[in-house]
Structure 1
Amino acid sequence: MPAPVPRQKRATIFDVAAEAGVSRGTVSRVLNGEPYVSASAREAIEAAIAKVGYVRNTAARNLATQSSGAIALIVHEPHSVFVDDPNIGAILLGINSSLSAADYQLVSLIIDTERDSQRVTGYLGGGFVDGAIIVSAREGDPISQAIADLRLPAVMIGRPDNQPQLPWVGIDNRGAAEQITRRLKATGRSRIGMIAAGLDRDSGRDRLAGFRDALGDGYDESLVSRQSFYTHDAGVAGMAELLRVDPLIDGVFAASDAVAVGALEALASAGRRVPADVGVVGFDDSAWARRAQPALSTIRQPAGDLGARAAELVLEQVRSGSPAADGVLLPTEVVWRDSA
């Protein structure tokens, strides 16, 4: 049996100092980006770091500074939704862009089960991150309360009304849903239904409320299919349900683009033409909308900007030690294409 390979000793700041022929203090000033180091000494130290293979001990630095240099992104979605939802991807990239510019690391934490909630709560209390950004917070969310109790700098994407009053960044889901439903109604549709999703969070509830606002007295509760998640499968199931309730339905507002594309497929399977027989609109202006056949009319929300602004708000709290502004609304717009 071969003998185990001995673990290579990690290079230290003393090794760098000895190789460069300078004091440990001079090496420390270079590593910390401090002035008052000659160009020749700085060059010697940088060459020594490369030669001895020195890697800074981040854990020790964090212990000394009481800072982790990391921000958590907490996503309350099943794993399949996290992977398939392009909005979450755009939000993540927006967050990472802002954090990267500030030399902060993004840590993604996905909550799919109660066990995940317990694990993440313990992680947040361990000092591993300096702040948190929460996406898709739901009713009775224990993570939001844990963050409030820890007084951890945090920002919500969205603005749940039944959670601790944390700073937030979001869009006017209710107003945007009303706007696109009115546009759909103006095409002459008279039997308009909705595939509602995510009703355990503010975005889903507000989009349903906006749909109801737009239809007024013409709102028909039986033409609302309630689904759990903003997914393609929800669209297929929801559209099938609406067709059973009213085979003559001629307009559908889907709560997201992924849901809308599922509805388009269900309509095609039922022999219903879009938009000739049924007009369909979605919400997000994600990759789902642009790849749909026909191309999907939808609401464009600035997912990347939501992530970037959330990161900026949480970093402001980390740096100042005080809470950020209560909330920030970003604009949306109707994008009208062939599906309606």
Structure 2
Amino acid sequence: MSRPQPHRRATVHDIAAAVGMSRGTVSRVLNGGYVSAEARAAIETAMSDLGYVPNNAARALKMRRSQAVAFVAHEPHSLFLDDPNIGSIMLGANAALSLADHQMVSLVVESARDNERVARYLSGGFVDGAIVVSARTKDPIIKVISDLSLPAAFIGHPPDLAQNIPFVGIDNVGSAVAITEHLLSTGRRRIGMIAAALDRDSGIDRLTGFRAALGSLFDEELVADVPHYDYGSGVKGMRDLLERDPEIDGVFAASDAIAAGALEALREAGRNVPRDVGLVGFDDSTWAVRCQPQLTTVHQPAKELGSCAAQAVLRQLSGENPETVGQLLPTPLVLRDSA
């Protein structure tokens, strides 16, 4: 009994033979070039009849393009479940890339080994560019991207980022000043901060803004340093602050997830928000509206950050030089019941 023959994939030659036209004419249709309306209609009909599927892998090899862009996130895996901002940034980037017919490849960096793996991947020609989130100071991925001259955009601005690499971000210092000044305007005077991610620009800048807004009221003892923008860090940080000063009456949490954890710790301690302690967050994420009371916070345009970063990479891939290297998006305060 003979084996069934595998189905042969239709080729450009088959389309050309079916319509009685040259292979070049068929190729122009496939690549968006000009042909007459009659020729285009005949070729598209033949493609449908023959079940033709473009060989994107061969096309990419010929063009030396993968049509893929890496989304590199320097966060622990657990934070993807705890911090809705990462997901929103990713969705914004993916939407912009999808409109341009590019695929997004997600790469999570959680360890030194991950850094090596991602560096090898970026160097291997598997992607045409990269969007990088939460890069640290002296991040090895920054060096890889610079050495490769890989089209890239960063969300946030690590201090050692090369001057010619585009970035999209927010004014973390100014936003932290504004939210802290709001706490002051409510009559709070013993104000602490749960400061996260001090190994990157966002965390450092939020602490800088907090310190600047308080001036002489700033107390180093009322800063709890936690590693991540997550709920567990908020619980731990708030417990630490209450232990240091039970009379604390205001808290700036460096993210809404942290603020949600802080709210839980305050309830455990029998402290009412906002009567006893004014509490504010940062991000205006889903955490902010799920809390009771809902959080006063800073609106961070996460989807727009992802979209703008993706568009910056796409412009580089099309041969454009960025008109402005840095782009800062607005971050209005959102006043709710927690302060």
| TM-score exceeds 0.5 | yes
**SS of structure 2 residue aligned to 1:320:** coil
Q: Following the alignment from structure 2 to structure 1, what is the Cα–Cα distance between the partners of residues 258 and 241?
A: 13
Shift of 1:31: 0.9
- Cα distance in 2 for partners of 1:194, 1:38 equals 66
- 5 Å-filtered alignment, 1:110-149, equals 110-149=108-147
Q: Match of 2:57?
A: 59
- The equivalent residue for 1:29 is 28
1:227 offset after TM fit, Å? 0.6
Contact 1:141 1:163 in 2 (8 A): no
TM-score normalised according to structure 1 size:
0.93
- 2:319 is aligned to 320
Q: Distance in 1 between matches of 2:296 and 2:178?
A: 12
Q: Distance in 2 between matches of 1:136 and 1:280?
A: 25
Q: Tell me the secondary structure at the aligned position of residue 229 of structure 1.
A: coil
| Secondary structure at the counterpart of residue 101 of structure 2 | coil
Contact 1:175–1:210 under 8 Å retained in 2 = yes
Letter in 2 for 1:99: L
Residue 332 of structure 2: aligned partner: 333
| 1:321, distance to aligned residue in structure 2 (A) | 5.6
Q: CA deviation at 1:324?
A: 5.3
Q: Does 1:268 align with 2:267?
A: yes
Contact 1:317–1:324 (CA<8 Å) still a contact in 2? no
**Cα pair 2:82 2:231 within 8 Å, conserved:** no
The answer for the alignment partner of 2:148 in structure 1 is: 150
- Letter matched to residue 301 of structure 1: Q
Range with bigger deviation, 218-227 or 314-323: 314-323
RMSD of aligned C-alpha atoms?
A: 1.9
Q: Give the AA of the match of 1:82.
A: F
Question: Is 1:180 matched with 2:193?
Answer: no
Post-superposition shift, 1:107? 1.7
Q: Which amino acid aligns with 1:175?
A: G
* 5+ residue gaps, structure 1: none
Q: Is the 8 A contact 2:29 2:35 kept in 1?
A: no
Q: Secondary structure at the match of 2:327?
A: strand
Residues 178, 38 of structure 1: alpha-carbon distance in 2 compared, 3 angstrom cutoff: closer
Of 102, 105, 118, which residue of structure 1 is paired with 2:103?
105
Report SS of the residue matched to 2:153. Answer: strand
Distance 1:27 1:273, change over 3 A: same
CA distance in 2, matches of 1:271, 1:53: 69
Pair 98,217 (structure 1): closer, same or farther in 2 beyond 3 Å: same
Partner in structure 1 of residue 71 of structure 2: 73
What's the offset of the Cα at 1:91?
1.2
Q: Secondary structure at the match of 2:318?
A: helix
| Partner in structure 1 of residue 85 of structure 2 | 87
1:242-294: CA deviations, max 9, x gaps? Answer: 11111111110000001001111111121111001111000010111111110
Q: Which residue of 2 aligns with 1:292?
A: 291
The alpha-carbon deviation at position 4 of structure 1 amounts to 9.2
TM-score normalised by structure 2 residue count: 0.94
Alignment partner, residue 160 of structure 2: 162
Aligned-partner Cα distance in 1 for 2:287–2:322: 36
Matched AA of 1:270: A
Q: Which amino acid aligns with 1:28?
A: S
Query: Matched residue pairs, number?
Result: 337
- Cα distance in 2, alignment partners of residues 322 and 66 from structure 1: 20
Deviations 1:275-332 (CA, angstroms, capped at 9, x unpaired): 0111100001011111111010000121111112112222222222645522111111
